[in-house]
Amino acid sequence: MAASKRKRGGDRAFDKKGKKGKFVVDKDETPPETEQEAKNEVTVPAPVSLGKWTNKERVLIFSSRGINFRTRHLMQDLRTMMPHSKADTKMDRKDKLFVVNEVCEIKNCNKCLFFEAKKKQDLYMWISNCPHGPSAKFLVQNIHTLAELKMTGNCLKGSRPLLSFDPKFDKEPQYALLKELFIQTFSTPHYHPKSQPFVDHVYTFSIADNRIWFRNYQIIEEDASLVEIGPRFVLNLIKIFQGSFGGPTLYENPNFRSPNLHRQQIRLAAAAKVREKQLVKEIQKIKREDAKEEVDNDVTADVFVTPDEQKPVHIQTEPPTPKVVKKKHKPFKRERMQRGRR
């Protein structure tokens, strides 16, 4: 049933498929002919989105204290890219990770991206389905933010992205679980109030070197080519848990090395190089000393040496006689002047 409303300009009939409007002249003027009225009718097209927002996915993006500027910019970029995200204040380091589930419940979020900083140089990312799980923990490497990259790509803020996954995600069970987590977290819900009904960029998740590489590209309309927008980062999987931020371990990456162990190996390798250089110097010094001894102990050096005559040892019992030293007479200055005048 179409509802009718009376306004100052005239009568307009509203429908879901479209809107029809009729332009009516003022009361003082004479009404136009029927053909003119037909020309003045304008049909307003229907809105782009007529559906309802049913997928109520909300993602909470926040971090712990101690993060650096690069992580802060990365979080801001993710919030800009995901219109269904929410922000919160930094969490204290002393709090347990289970507190994040309570924060998500307060914020009415069912997904969470939590960035955990350690030693002001290592960054870990938790992606979790709150409050029942599962959850995964990653080491974030090679972070490049939007402001840092300055790529030529661009997209509409709030537009819905395409998600592209590597074929390896369907071959192994741990990657299949991560694929479902990524789909539910990064995809913008249909008919979200803050989203735009356009698809002009794509998120790619590719697997290389046992790591997940994230990229964001713009889709160009002319030839459907891709231009990178940013940000970009690499996720190194550590563990997958059954619960949210804990619980039984479903999968543990055997190829993962902690950054502490990696730095320790670098330090040990540098120390081994220094010790090797010192050992080479000591060996060269010993070789030089051995060569000197061989030259000093020449066997043929004593062939032409004749023994000296042995002189009797004379012991002096009396002190030697003092030598008389005759002093030369040096004339005075006056005598020298007189001699010079003569």
- Tokens describing residue 157: 């803020």
Distinct helix (H) and strand (E) counts, the chain: 7, 15
Does residue 330 lie within any of the structural domains? Answer: no
pTM of the model: 0.68
Model confidence pLDDT, tens digit, residues 125-134 = 999 999 888 9
Whether residue 166 lies inside any domain: the answer is yes
Does residue 178 form part of some domain? yes
Query: In Å, what is the CA distance from 166 to each residue of 116, 212, 220, 252?
Result: 27, 9, 21, 21
Mean pLDDT of the 254-272 span: 92
Share of residues in the chain with pLDDT > 70 (%):
82
pLDDT digits (tens, 9 = 90+) for 141-182: 999 999 888 888 889 999 999 999 999 999 999 999 999 999
pLDDT at 271: 95
Would you say residue 230 has pLDDT above 90?
no
Burial of 206 (0-12, 13-18, 19+ CB in 10 A): middle
Please state the domain count of the chain: 1
User: Between vectors from CA 57 to CA 141 and to CA 166, what angle results, nearest 5°?
Assistant: 45
CA R_g for the chain: 46
Determine the structural domain holding residue 131 and report its residue range.
59-262
Residue-wise pLDDT for 270-308, tens only, equals 999 999 999 999 999 998 888 776 666 666 777 777 777
CATH number at residue 93: 3.40.50.10480
- Does any domain span residue 43? no
Q: What 3-state DSSP class applies to 279?
A: helix
pLDDT surpasses 70 at 12: no
- Tokens 């049933």, located at residue: 1
CA atoms within 13 A on the CB side of 196: 12
Asked whether residue 191 is assigned to any structural domain, the reply reads yes
The Cα 28–Cα 8 span in angstroms is 14
The answer to which of 38-47, 93-102, 170-179 has the lowest mean pLDDT is 38-47
Task: Read off the pLDDT of residues 176-226 as tens digits, 9 standing for 90 and up.
Answer: 999 999 999 999 998 888 998 889 999 999 999 999 999 999 999 878 899
**Residue 38 belongs to some domain of the structure:** no
Tell me, yes or no, whether 227 lies in a domain: yes
pLDDT at res. 179: 95
Q: Is residue 257 part of a domain?
A: yes
- Percent of the chain at pLDDT > 90 equals 52
